[in-house]
């Protein structure tokens, strides 16, 4: 921010006029330069050699870490592996075997049920077709019987009318 400040000038006094004379500025010494101590230059290996060495070291470290991790994993036993040798493991093993056997039995029973269902489906479709044929035959017989009854009723009605006509 810039604020304008008014500068008041002192009242001018009238002085005798003098010839202006240029004053020379006093000679100054140049400012001293700040110098820090420099370390001697270190010879650096080429960057490519350093990178190569870093890669080699990194590979070696990775190999060692992998070996250590494998050892640790092999030494670590899971909860179930810890129980395998104990007395507690016996019921678990028996339960596991029972479960596996029940799965096998279930799959066998399912296959057998599928076979029986397919056989039943074939027989049912055969019986359904036979039943439809019998039903159609009965329907035809009932229709024929209905026609015969209607014919006899018409004949009997005609006879009764003729009898009434003759009697009248």
Distance CA 50, CA 62 (A): 18
Between 11 and 32, where is the model more confident?
A: 32
DSSP H/E element including 101: helix 89-167
Give the pLDDT of residue 6.
61
Give the pLDDT of residue 84.
73
What's the gap between Cα 11 and its chain centre? 91
Give the pLDDT of residue 85.
75
Give the pLDDT of residue 75.
74
Between 110 and 166, where is the model more confident?
A: 110
> Burial, 59: exposed, middle or buried (Cβ in 10 Å; 0-12, 13-18, 19+)?
exposed
Give the pLDDT of residue 155.
94
Average pLDDT, the chain: 82
């Amino acid at each position: 921010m810039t604020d304008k400040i008014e500068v008041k000038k002192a009242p001018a006094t009238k002085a005798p006029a003098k010839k202006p004379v240029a004053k020379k500025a006093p000679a100054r010494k140049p400012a001293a330069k700040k110098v820090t101590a420099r370390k001697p230059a270190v010879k650096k290996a080429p960057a490519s050699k350093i990178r190569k060495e870093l890669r080699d070291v990194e590979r070696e470290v990775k190999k060692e870490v992998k070996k250590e991790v494998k050892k640790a994993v092999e030494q670590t036993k899971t909860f179930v592996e810890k129980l395998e040798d104990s007395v507690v493991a016996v019921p678990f093993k028996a339960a596991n075997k029972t479960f596996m056997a029940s799965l096998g039995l279930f799959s066998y029973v399912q296959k057998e049920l599928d076979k029986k269902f397919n056989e039943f489906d074939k027989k049912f479709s055969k019986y359904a077709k036979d039943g439809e044929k019998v039903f159609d035959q009965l329907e035809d017989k009932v229709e024929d019987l209905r026609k015969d009854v209607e014919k006899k009723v018409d004949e009997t009605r005609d006879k009764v009318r003729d009898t009434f006509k003759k009697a009248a």
